[in-house]
Structure 1
Amino acid sequence: MSSTLHRTRTPIAWLFSALLFVGCLGLAVSCVSHSSVPSPNVVALQDTTPENVHVGVFADAEAAGQLYPSARLCQPCHQKQYQEWAVSPHAYAQVSPVFQSFHAAVIYLTNGTNGDFCIRCHSPVGMALEEPFSTENANRAEAAFEGITCIVCHRVDQEYGKISGRMKVHTGDLFAPVYGPGGDDNLQKALASNDFNLKSKPEGSGNPTHANAKRFFQLTQPGFCGSCHDVLGNNAFRLEEAFSEYKASPSAKNDETCQDCHMATVQGIVSDYENGPAAVVAGNPTPDRRLTNHLMAGPDHSVAHPGIYPHNVDASEFATIREWIAFDVDAGWGTTDFERTNPSRDQFPERWRSREDRIEARRLIDQNLERLDYYMGERRSVLQEGYRLGQLRVGEMSSGGFEFEVDLENGTDGHGVPTGFIAERVVFLRTVVTDANGKQVFFSGDYDPNGDVRDSHSLYVHAGELPMDEFLLSLQSKFITTNVRGGEREQVLAVNYSVDPLPFTRPPTSSRFLVGRPGGSRIHKLNIMPGDKRTAKYEVTAEQLAGTEGPYHVSVEVVAGMVPVNLIAEISVVGFDYDLSAREIADRVLDGHVVLWAYDVELQPGAVYSMPTRTGDDYVSKYTFEEQHPERSHSTSEHDSHASAGH
């Protein structure tokens, strides 16, 4: 089996890819960029002030840091918040090679007219600095690479409403004011105290800090989250509706906020907040106050090299992004066993020829892997709160076959599940029926050789090599686009196919108020709203039971993933950052598939089961990818194990 993703293409599709690679060499260069972006040879700002920041500071890291300080500078005093944020989805927003290529592919397919629409949320600092829309992350300013970094929330002082991330982040060095929920009483006391040895201006000695922490009350309100978490295109396309779903939810009616679920002590449920010092300066804590958790786990997880993510101050100072991706973690570099073999210096890149450097790199990577493992545990927990496996009901059973059904429920009051980027969220039921001898007689929710479920987007189903899974219950919503002569079709990316080679996104010429979407595309929502459920109905036929004997067992698993593999195939036309291949990313995406809830019961006629198992790290799935597809050698033995992708 080829190591590349399987896909069947027409000659015009091959031409499409060829034209792309001629015109846009992956992410190494910008496919579309602002005309005002200076040459990388520009190394100094030209009379830049906060008022004329848009002069192009892309190539001047020091100047960019003076305008938009890195989270690294916040870390010495706010270590708790930094450690939580550094492994969070917010911190991963721009790191993600999947996002980068998705964004670049949509720009290409819309002939540049999508502009900064996607990256404006994922890297507000990068767009404020007028960085290219698409480039290697190694080329970006430090705070731009950090995605939703500290200043993206704490240098905003206005209520913008649902504006799809197009907010002003105030400029200024570390000493400039920040904005928080409580004002700066504690800060001013600390500045006046000799215990903290603080300084609020560049001159003099002491621990640097911002001069003011101004109160911005909306930071504690859902409306602040809604500035990014409702995504509306300039053509009225409703890409994400997490905030709108919340506003119509029982949680909103009960005055429960986004922060109450996602920034309190327990991920995914309304819980109490921690109390403690907001800062610890030179070992001295500030007075206790309410603290929020900046981890905010969700369905995304890292597929990047563990040397560059999670964000790690020591790791970023020890090696560059390009140096880290040349460090072979899987080969064991820096481990005791590997270094005992006395490997030849010549087998390593120049940066890693030093044994001492390899050992130190391994120490830093092990730190990051431990943090990734913690995040993956919190990710499982928050997903388990969002989904519930309801009743399993069995009909009459005979040698002529039988039927059974199972409910999948929304476990939260706050929004639909999944929410946000619902057209690319993978949540489905995997159901396997076996006989008394363990022989499989029925299955649904299995993978094709690429790692996709057998739905209408599976490349193997498209090619006619596998049948569609007619019993599949999937919560992945679908992009629907209008064809040239009427009618609609599903698409992986919401860009219409056209006989015209130049599809554009553009503002509508008439009001979209009544229909709420552009004329050429929409999302068919398949997620589950609060208080609702979806029921999967299964039928085992006499033909499937032939040659088997009872009693029969059923395994029903709720499986959640980050994105479908077919999305990786679709966006691979622009390449991937960090020298990753589509197959490598797809395998790491599959490593993040996790079983949330499961039934494993003997089927009895007329029985009703209502006590599913909440799975943990020790759960072993009844289904393995390798057993079904032995032709594909995969990096892990259990896709549904608690694993940290990206290493």
Structure 2
Amino acid sequence: MKSPGLLSLIITTLFAGLIVFTGAAAPSEPGDFTSDQFSKSGICSNCHGSSFGEWDGSMHSNADSDFFYQATLQEYGVAAEAQGLSPDFCSRCHTPIGVVSAEIPPLDGSHLSEVSKEGVQCDFCHSVAESEGIGNAPFVLEPGDVKWGNRPDTESASHETEAHEFYNESAYCGMCHNIYHPVNNLTLGATYTEWEESPYAEEGVNCQACHMTPGIIGFEENPGKAASTGPEREHVYTHHFVGANAFVTDVMGENRHEKRAIEYLQHAAELEVNAPDSTGPGESVEVEIKITNVGAGHKIPTGVTEDREMWLELTVNDSEGRELYHSGALDSAGKIDSGATIYHTVFADSGGKPTVKLWEAESILSDNRIGPKGSVVEKHSFVMPENASNPISTKAVLHYRSAPQEHIDKLFGEGAYNVPVIDMATYPEEEKTSTPGFGITGAIIALSLRITLRRRKK
């Protein structure tokens, strides 16, 4: 991954002497504004057609309409009412205009205006004048004729413009991409902090370099116009804001964003496998698989990872195709076998029991996710059967899915949705596919991964 380099240096220099991130104002609160003070995103498309087209259908545009989020939100709403929790805790990031316009609560969305239903939309993002910190959306809004952005030389016939260096900083993303429990302050998600403590932050590679450029890994220039009437520019940030969500985007028919999410996943990790070609009957066979986070500037997986799952499936066969060892398989209900290591965060409730309900979380039982440029090694072993024939073959696949099938079945009913299982990396290298019965509908041409293969002969 490379940083924006010269472009970033030029922008930083141009911002010298402009408005700074002072944190002098209080975060915007419910009732500070009315929703009619914000413009619907369709208006922005008149001049910013490319940016609007990229945003349209993204997880930002569907932040409030996301069916998985809505189901979880309604569960939270019941708990919030019973336990006196803040009703707008989740909504502040998912429908920020709805919150500051006091259209939330109720959490069923019955009072939301059309502009509030647009989720994380154009006028909200470009009305952020500053932030009061990181996490739980401490944004300070100034809606109106002035639109905020990252260019000091912008001119528009439609509105006034102001430049703020904050728009070029990962801290802008950190407003919502760190999440803390509203009562006990437990860290529930820390994508920003994971980046901040990573080698990428030290190298000056920010969130925007990966999630707002055409490249899958790292900064890639995107020449063009930010507005139809604007000048040609060396680089225009894209507005897909893609992460790893190929589940919701698939169900909602947002195939452009689904495909790009899969591409991100398939460039996040590498596998190195150390396994014998042959061994004698009754001997122990040792297989080592090294999983390295090579493409993400944060941990994999990231976000609120109580539900997200990444795991390794390992299969060893003899020369006649007989299965000698298998770990990480899914059963007919879509459950991962109990012997596999699942990379995610496990939260505990007040009684110390695991929970996927974030509002119940009071501690972290475990967190074995893989940090940026970090690696873990899984070791597997089995005894070579007497009737097995050499040579033996080893296949390893690193899988990812947005949630356990069991959880989705509980929320929506069995058979309502199949959670796609994405092949992030494979050994030996092959075309990435989804698991039959739980996979992505439609044909997807997978991009190839760089996989380093090492075999130990015996």
Q: TM-score range by the shorter chain?
A: 0.7 to 0.9
Per the alignment, do residues 133 and 562 of structure 1 end up closer, same or farther by CA in structure 2, a change over 3 Å counting? farther
User: 1:80-91 maps to which residues of 2 (within 5 A)?
Assistant: 80-91=50-61
**Does the aligned pair in 2 maintain the 1:92–1:302 contact within 8 Å?**
no
- The share of aligned pairs that are identical, in percent, is 21
Task: Give the counterpart of 1:181 among 126, 146, 150.
Answer: 150
The answer to whether the aligner puts 1:105 opposite 2:75 as a matched pair is yes
Counterpart of 2:322? Answer: 439
User: 1:442-457 maps to which residues of 2 (within 5 A)?
Assistant: 442-454=325-337
Counterpart of 1:387? Answer: 269
Instruction: Tell me the secondary structure at the aligned position of residue 141 of structure 2.
Output: coil
Q: Shift in Å at residue 289 of structure 1? A: 5.3
The answer to whether the aligner puts 1:551 opposite 2:391 as a matched pair is yes
Instruction: Tell me how far apart the structure 1 counterparts of residues 29 and 265 of structure 2 sit (CA, whole Å).
Output: 44
Instruction: Tell me how far apart the structure 2 counterparts of residues 445 and 266 of structure 1 sit (CA, whole Å).
Output: 31
Gaps spanning 5+ residues in structure 1: where?
1-50, 58-63, 192-208, 310-368, 455-467, 497-517, 573-580, 601-612, 627-633
Q: Shift in Å at residue 70 of structure 1? A: 1.5
Question: What amino acid does structure 1 have at the position aligned with 2:353?
Answer: R
Q: CA RMSD of the aligned region, Å?
A: 3.1
Counterpart of 2:341? Answer: 473
Q: Shift in Å at residue 495 of structure 1? A: 5.2
Q: Shift in Å at residue 222 of structure 1? A: 1.0
Counterpart of 2:91? Answer: 119
Instruction: Tell me the secondary structure at the aligned position of residue 95 of structure 1.
Output: coil
Task: Give the counterpart of 2:260 among 361, 365, 378.
Answer: 378
Q: Shift in Å at residue 149 of structure 1? A: 0.7
**Does the aligned pair in 2 maintain the 1:93–1:148 contact within 8 Å?**
yes
Question: What amino acid does structure 1 have at the position aligned with 2:323?
Answer: Q
Q: Shift in Å at residue 409 of structure 1? A: 0.9
Larger radius of gyration: 1
Instruction: Tell me the secondary structure at the aligned position of residue 276 of structure 1.
Output: coil
Instruction: Tell me the secondary structure at the aligned position of residue 279 of structure 2.
Output: strand
Counterpart of 1:272? Answer: 220
The answer to whether the aligner puts 1:160 opposite 2:132 as a matched pair is yes
Per the alignment, do residues 597 and 302 of structure 1 end up closer, same or farther by CA in structure 2, a change over 3 Å counting? closer
Per the alignment, do residues 585 and 78 of structure 1 end up closer, same or farther by CA in structure 2, a change over 3 Å counting? farther
User: 1:202-351 maps to which residues of 2 (within 5 A)?
Assistant: 209-210=158-159, 212-234=160-182, 235-267=184-216, 269-280=217-228, 286-288=231-233, 290-301=235-246, 303=248, 309=252
Instruction: Tell me how far apart the structure 2 counterparts of residues 236 and 159 of structure 1 sit (CA, whole Å).
Output: 19
Q: Number of aligned residue pairs: give it.
A: 415
Per the alignment, do residues 97 and 399 of structure 1 end up closer, same or farther by CA in structure 2, a change over 3 Å counting? same
Counterpart of 1:143? Answer: 115
Q: Shift in Å at residue 183 of structure 1? A: 3.4
Per the alignment, do residues 303 and 407 of structure 1 end up closer, same or farther by CA in structure 2, a change over 3 Å counting? same
Q: Shift in Å at residue 625 of structure 1? A: 4.3
Question: What amino acid does structure 1 have at the position aligned with 2:344?
Answer: Q
Counterpart of 2:364? Answer: 522
Counterpart of 2:455? Answer: none
Counterpart of 2:31? Answer: 54
**Does the aligned pair in 2 maintain the 1:427–1:561 contact within 8 Å?**
yes
Per the alignment, do residues 620 and 248 of structure 1 end up closer, same or farther by CA in structure 2, a change over 3 Å counting? closer
Task: Give the counterpart of 1:130 among 98, 102, 118.
Answer: 102
**Does the aligned pair in 1 maintain the 2:191–2:299 contact within 8 Å?**
yes
Question: What amino acid does structure 2 have at the position aligned with 1:481?
Answer: D
**Does the aligned pair in 1 maintain the 2:287–2:379 contact within 8 Å?**
yes
Q: Shift in Å at residue 136 of structure 1? A: 5.2
Q: Shift in Å at residue 224 of structure 1? A: 1.0
Instruction: Tell me how far apart the structure 2 counterparts of residues 410 and 495 of structure 1 sit (CA, whole Å).
Output: 29
Gaps spanning 5+ residues in structure 2: where?
1-27, 446-458
Task: Give the counterpart of 1:567 among 374, 392, 407.
Answer: 407
Question: What amino acid does structure 1 have at the position aligned with 2:335?
Answer: D
Instruction: Tell me the secondary structure at the aligned position of residue 418 of structure 1.
Output: coil
Instruction: Tell me the secondary structure at the aligned position of residue 72 of structure 1.
Output: helix
Residue by residue over 1:194-244, the C-alpha shift from the partner in whole angstroms, topping out at 9 and shown as x without a partner, is: xxxxxxxxxxxxxxx22x011122011111111111111232110111111
**Does the aligned pair in 2 maintain the 1:416–1:530 contact within 8 Å?**
yes
Instruction: Tell me how far apart the structure 2 counterparts of residues 276 and 495 of structure 1 sit (CA, whole Å).
Output: 44
Instruction: Tell me the secondary structure at the aligned position of residue 252 of structure 1.
Output: helix
Per the alignment, do residues 536 and 55 of structure 1 end up closer, same or farther by CA in structure 2, a change over 3 Å counting? closer
Instruction: Tell me how far apart the structure 2 counterparts of residues 161 and 73 of structure 1 sit (CA, whole Å).
Output: 30
Question: Structure 2 length normalisation: TM-score?
Answer: 0.81
**Does the aligned pair in 2 maintain the 1:154–1:178 contact within 8 Å?**
yes
**Does the aligned pair in 2 maintain the 1:81–1:294 contact within 8 Å?**
yes
Instruction: Tell me how far apart the structure 2 counterparts of residues 403 and 639 of structure 1 sit (CA, whole Å).
Output: 37
Instruction: Tell me how far apart the structure 1 counterparts of residues 333 and 277 of structure 2 sit (CA, whole Å).
Output: 35
Task: Give the counterpart of 1:582 among 410, 413, 426.
Answer: 413
Q: Shift in Å at residue 391 of structure 1? A: 3.3
Residue by residue over 1:243-284, the C-alpha shift from the partner in whole angstroms, topping out at 9 and shown as x without a partner, is: 1111111111112211112212302x222331211111xxx5
Instruction: Tell me the secondary structure at the aligned position of residue 240 of structure 1.
Output: strand
Q: Shift in Å at residue 407 of structure 1? A: 0.8
Question: What amino acid does structure 2 have at the position aligned with 1:149?
Answer: Q
Instruction: Tell me the secondary structure at the aligned position of residue 55 of structure 2.
Output: helix
Q: Shift in Å at residue 87 of structure 1? A: 2.8
Per the alignment, do residues 548 and 134 of structure 1 end up closer, same or farther by CA in structure 2, a change over 3 Å counting? farther
Q: Shift in Å at residue 74 of structure 1? A: 0.9
**Does the aligned pair in 2 maintain the 1:555–1:598 contact within 8 Å?**
yes
Per the alignment, do residues 523 and 642 of structure 1 end up closer, same or farther by CA in structure 2, a change over 3 Å counting? farther
Q: Shift in Å at residue 106 of structure 1? A: 2.6
Higher percent of residues as helix: 1
